[in-house]
Copies of this chain bind each other. A is one copy, B any other.
Amino acid sequence: MSRTAISPIHTIQDELKALFDDRITLNPGVCNNHGRGEGPMASLPPDAVVFPITTTEVSVLAKLCNKARVPIIPFGVGTSLEGHVAAPQGGVCVDFAQMNNVLAVNTNDMDAVVQPGVTRKQLNSYIRDTGLFFPVDPGADASIGGMTATRASGTSTVRYGSMKDNVIALEVVMADGSIIKTASRARKSAAGYDLTHLMIGSEGTLGIITEITVKLHGIPEAVVAAACPFPTIDKAVKCVITAIQMGIPMARMELLDETSMAAVNAYSKLDYTVAPTLFLEFEGSPNSVKEQVETLINIAQDLGANDFQWADKPEDRSRLWAARHDMYYAGLAYRPGSESLTTDVCVPISNLAQSIHQTHNTLAASSITGLILGHVGDGNYHTLLLFDPNDPEQNTEAQRINKTIVEQALALDGTCTGEHGVGMGKRHYLKQELGKGAVAMMTNIKQSLDPNNILNPEKIISLNEMGKDQR
């Protein structure tokens, strides 16, 4: 993509330097590193990177940039996949690395107030002695600001929900520099429009998140993990549906397909059966876990699955889960030199087996290798589409398959993105998924809250493409 506007950053360069002193850089290398996340997209660097330490600084920055029409792109740790941190119109990247303090931990209320640069592992390490933990786990050690902005979720979402379910309140700097509190710290409220949820998943396009109040949960007394191969994907999915319907409060339910298991074995020198495999976790009181495990074994056995591997000690569980957590790298290693275009569809769980079948069929008819892994308890799965970045035809083919997978999932009443967000990569699917009216409504909201389009422009909605169909 070429830049659609030249950022007039030079008009405020002196003021920025006065404001941030040695916490601003225009170094091309640093800017380049801030212009891309972990997806396969090329970097679109900002003109400058600043490192604020207070909300007030962010507010002053917004006022400056709003007046001068300079884009602002918030940046956590850069692990997003859909071009969320790209700066297609240049501008100022706001790196929250130095706003990384845990501001309060309220153990009785089971909540914590953090700055956006705090990562999920940092928070969990900070609160280790309280008996509480923060559950949302997207794999990467993402910043909580970034996870909020992209409505992230992960392996524990089937039990604890996504960021949408674990954020109580936000402080947000709006485009005009005003500082907003979206909600009180009370656990529930019916006080007007739900500004908290409007900001969660808005990807920095409506406001800049400067403080997050998150829910914490009690560390369970007992945890048991298991891996079990199934004769078919259908039977693995059936096991998941039955477990949920029977009310087993599963902590994690992850599926890896045959190819993924082959990749995992090769990468980690393991000898798992090469078959569709469920990775499961149970938690609760020791008795409750025992009961959950027994029920799950009965369900699985009825579906022809018997070969459980169990792990209850922390180190054994870590080893068992390593297979799942290393999947991305195992995938890349499966086709050396490849990059991954990672799909993220989510469908109603009753359509999940069909969706995965369709994807398998699409992959079988393609030259591209694809590995399927998923948060099957949520109906969400990823396909790692491995392509050679130096081969334009493979790149095109990966894009085509992604499109097919998305369109088939939409036809099954699903979404193009379960958890990665829209960014620039999925923008053109929004209208297809939700219709013209919903996108027009999003555009109205964007324009009313950011009339000069300075907040992370070109993400979720492209105002440059208004009036014509998005790709």
A395-438 with Cβ < 8 A to chain B: 410, 413-422, 426, 429-430, 433-435, 437-438
Q: Does A60 contact B (CB under 8 A)?
A: no
Q: In the complex, are the beta carbons of B350 and A426 less than 8 A apart?
A: no
Nearest chain B CB to A376's CB is how many angstroms away?
Answer: 11
Q: In the complex, are the beta carbons of A187 and B433 less than 8 A apart?
A: no
Chain A residues touching B, range: 35 or more
Write 20 A-B pairs (CB below 8 A) sorted by A numbering: A106-B350, A111-B348, A165-B165, A181-B438, A184-B433, A185-B414, A186-B346, A188-B378, A188-B419, A190-B415, A191-B434, A193-B198, A193-B206, A194-B198, A194-B201, A195-B442, A198-B198, A217-B247, A249-B249, A441-B449
A200-229 with Cβ < 8 A to chain B: 200-202, 206, 217-218, 220-221
Task: List B contacts of A184 (CB < 8 A).
Answer: 410, 413-415, 433-434
Task: List B contacts of A195 (CB < 8 A).
Answer: 434, 438, 441-442
The segment from A35-43, A285-293, A307-315 that touches chain B is A285-293
Q: Does A151 contact B (CB under 8 A)?
A: yes
Cα–Cα, bound, A347→B426 (Å): 39
Contact code string A127-164 (vs B, CB < 8 Å = 1, else 0): 00001000000000000000000111100010000101
Main secondary structure of the interface of A (DSSP, over half): loop
Task: List B contacts of A445 (CB < 8 A).
Answer: 193, 198, 445, 448-449
Among B190, B202, B380, contact of A417 (Cβ-Cβ < 8 Å):
B190
Instruction: Other than A189-B418, A220-B247, A285-B291, give 4 A-B pairs with Cβ distance below 8 A.
Output: A193-B198, A217-B247, A287-B291, A441-B449
Contact code string A159-176 (vs B, CB < 8 Å = 1, else 0): 000101100000000100
Task: List B contacts of A434 (CB < 8 A).
Answer: 180-184, 191-192, 195
Nearest chain B CB to A109's CB is how many angstroms away?
Answer: 4
Q: Does A53 contact B (CB under 8 A)?
A: no
Q: Does A270 contact B (CB under 8 A)?
A: no
Cα–Cα, bound, A153→B416 (Å): 31
Task: List B contacts of A162 (CB < 8 A).
Answer: 188
| Chain B residue, CB-CB nearest to A131 | B245
Q: In the complex, are the beta carbons of B186 and A418 less than 8 A apart?
A: yes
Among B165, B180, B206, B348, contact of A435 (Cβ-Cβ < 8 Å):
B180
Q: In the complex, are the beta carbons of B182 and A380 less than 8 A apart?
A: no
